[in-house]
Amino acid sequence: MKVAVLISGRGSNLQALIDAGVAPGWPAEIVLVISNVAGAEGLERAGKAGIATAVIDHKTFDGRKPFDKAMTAAIEKAGAEFVCLAGFMRLLSDPFIDHWRDRLINIHPSLLPAFKGLGVHQRVLDAGEKASGCTVHFVRSEMDTGPIIVQAEVPVRPDDDAKALAARVLEQEHKIYPRALRLIAEDRVTVEGERALIDGQ
Ligand code: GRF
């Protein structure tokens, strides 16, 4: 399965996907990394792995839809049939989300549907949660919603600050994103209603 990854920054989840890809028989190939931010660290990671990159700067477009259209054009030109959001910090327009329906996934650093949006870890601490985690899900038009593919839970420790919790969650993100992509590329994930089933379950 040929995949495009959309990033805006650090790209550690992109790196996890790149690293997973070296395993023999891995069923997904990253053919393009797009960043809306020039100089994003993730672009360097892609370059080092010999993956084609593109900077598509949203600020040079007249609104969301033309920007999204340019991304779809670049993704399709690269031959990708599937899109992973990995720390991509722009909201996507409905036409983009519809075009890539069930071929577009995201990773979010909470146990969705709890704690959507930004600044998750501090909010988890403020709420006194005993557990947090991360979620890989198909993308729907409402932010951080869509059929959940894989989740991982981590404990929240009494002495955690947002940084410590983020690091614990991120470690799990790097495990579940490749796992989810692999399941999809192996054709083991189906969407029924708003539920993603793995091997029919
Ligand atoms: C991750 O925490 C991811 O869950 C969220 O944005 C962050 C991106 O980190 N969507 P990185 O760029 O993959 O290192």
In this structure, which topology does domain 108-137+146-195 adopt according to CATH?
Rossmann fold (3.40.50)
* Closest residue CA from atom 7 of ligand 1: 87
Model pTM?
0.98
Largest CA distance in the chain: 49
Cβ pair 100, 78 in contact under 8 A: no
| pLDDT per position as a tens digit, 119-178 | 999 999 999 999 999 999 999 999 999 999 999 999 999 999 999 999 999 999 999 999
Among the atoms of ligand 1, which is closest to the Cα of residue 85? 10
| pLDDT per position as a tens digit, 30-70 | 999 999 999 999 999 999 999 999 999 999 999 999 999 99
- Active-site positions read 108
CA 173 to mean position of chain CA atoms = 9
**Is there a common fold for 1-100 and 108-137+146-195?**
yes
| Cα distance between residue 108 and residue 116, in whole Å | 8
Q: What is each CA distance from 64 to 45, 57, 97, 102, in whole angstroms?
A: 27, 11, 12, 21
Site residues for ligand 1, CB cut-off 6 Å = 9-13, 86-87, 107-109, 170, 173
Superfamily of domain covering 1-100: Formyl transferase, N-terminal domain (3.40.50.170)
Indicate the top mutation candidate among 17, 170, 181 to test ligand 1's pocket, ranked by most ligand atoms within 8 A of CB. 170
Closest CA to 133 of 149, 153, 115: 153
